[in-house]
Each structure stands twice: as C-alpha cells, then as structure tokens.
Amino acid sequence: MSDIILNVQQLHKDYVGEVNYKALKGIDFQLKRNEFVSVMGPSGSGKTTFLNCISTIDRPTNGSITINQKNPYELNDEDLAKFRRSELGFVFQDFNLVHTLTVEENILLPLTLDAVNAKEMTSRLAEVVEFLGIEEIMKKRTFEISGGQKQRVAIARAVIHQPSLLLADEPTGNLDSKAANSVMTLFQSIHETFQTSLLMVTHDPYVASFAERVIFMQDGMLYNEIQRGDHKKQFYQEIVDTLTFLGGGYHEL
C-alpha cells in the first residue's frame, strides 16, 4: 500500500462566463497516509476550489487527482457516489445537517445509504458517539442543540463510515473560540486515534496550528509550506508571519 493517500498533479480549474477566471493554475500536492494538513491563503487564493476539486464537488479543467490510487473522475455516477461514501468524509462550516432528522439519524445517514446491517450500525454508532461525547443528544433535533454540538454531530457523520480521507472546509467558522478549540482537539484526536488523513481549509492561524503541515496558496498556486515540528507556539507564529506577508493582517484573510 502506498504511503501517499492523495496525489494531485498539475491541477487546473477555469471558470468560464462573462469574465473567464483561472482559479487554480497547475497545483502539485501530495498528502501522506495519516497526515494532517491545513490549507491557508488570502480570500480568492483558490483554497476552497482546491478542496472542492479533491472532494469531487468541482470537476478540474486539467490535471489529475488520485485518492488511494483511484481517480474519482474516471468513475461513472454510481461508482463515484460509492467512492465518496467509502473513501471521503466531509465537514463544512454550516454543518449541512438534515433538520427533519434526529441527531442519531443524521449520524447514521451514510451507513443507511450503504445499507449497512443494523448490528454494524449500532456498533459503529456507539463507538463514535462515545468518542465525541454526544450520547445525551442522540434523540434531539438539530434545532435543539448548540453550534458546537452541531459540529460534533457533523464530525460523527463524517467519520462513522471510517473514511480514508477527511476533508474540512472552515469547520470552526461558525463557532466561538471555546467551541472551536474543542472541535479542533477532536479533529486531532480523530487523526491520532483512527489514523485518518485530514485536509482542512481554514483562515484561522490558531486552528491551522493543530495540523502537522500548513500549505499556503496565492493566486491559484501553492506559495509556501511549513512544518510544525516540536514547537507549536513557534509554528503558530510562522503561520501568522506568512499570512501577514501574503495579504496584510491575518484577520483580513
């Protein structure tokens, strides 16, 4: 088995309209198995487009993406849907929960779609719910729980099918600092406990500092990357310094 779970080669994404726009301009990137990487950059740098192409939300104009040595864009619609459910987990800023379902039903949705048997569902649900500490809200509707709890539910739904790669787009964007810290501690625990590879877009240097590596984008290209090493405070400061150099104060990014 290759130690590279995600391989991106010469990735281009063009948007055609009244004004043509090149969002991605030839990106080469590799994510190792069980690696946690953050993606940062100024607004309009292409980081969300980059994540969307990897997640198969946006089809690249040119270039290749392989996940576990498979190119999802070579699959038919049915196989692509199965590939997403088996290989990928998604966590978004706005949670994307189904409001008509209970917390438990939201978490079980990926397994329901894959017709997993009831015994396996119960076992996986118990494991992920205990790990995330959300046992007491299982029967509640999503409008009855807090933003931090909603994100825990979204994380539970994203990992219950044990994906190879977890993708997160601004997962703390709608949370206060206490809830954001809690969610990022969970991400780190999931990464370490389940050996899940994790790729996360964020604008927040503190959130990014939970990763092992941060890549920076500018104008649709990779600009730079830094490794965490043993000193998280120093890593955080390097992130802030790089963002400041790229686009002024990092609060503007």
Predicted pLDDT of residue 113: 81
Print pLDDT tens along the chain (253 aa). 579 999 999 999 999 888 889 999 999 999 999 999 999 999 889 999 999 999 999 999 999 999 999 999 999 998 998 898 889 999 988 888 999 999 999 999 988 888 889 999 999 999 999 988 899 999 999 999 999 899 899 999 999 988 999 999 999 988 888 988 998 999 988 888 888 899 999 999 999 999 999 999 999 999 999 999 888 899 999 999 999 888 754 444 4
Tell how strand 62-67 and strand 4-15 pair up: antiparallel
Predicted pLDDT of residue 238: 95
Predicted pLDDT of residue 63: 96
Predicted pLDDT of residue 1: 59
Alpha-carbon distance values, 180 to 27, 81, 147, 244 (Å): 29, 30, 10, 22
Among 197, 153, 151, CA closest to 176: 151
Architecture of domain 33-59+75-252: 3-Layer(aba) Sandwich (3.40)
Contact 239, 233 (CB under 8 A): no
pTM (two decimals):
0.90
Domain-by-domain residue ranges, the chain?
Answer: 33-59+75-252
Token pair listed for 53: 């192409």
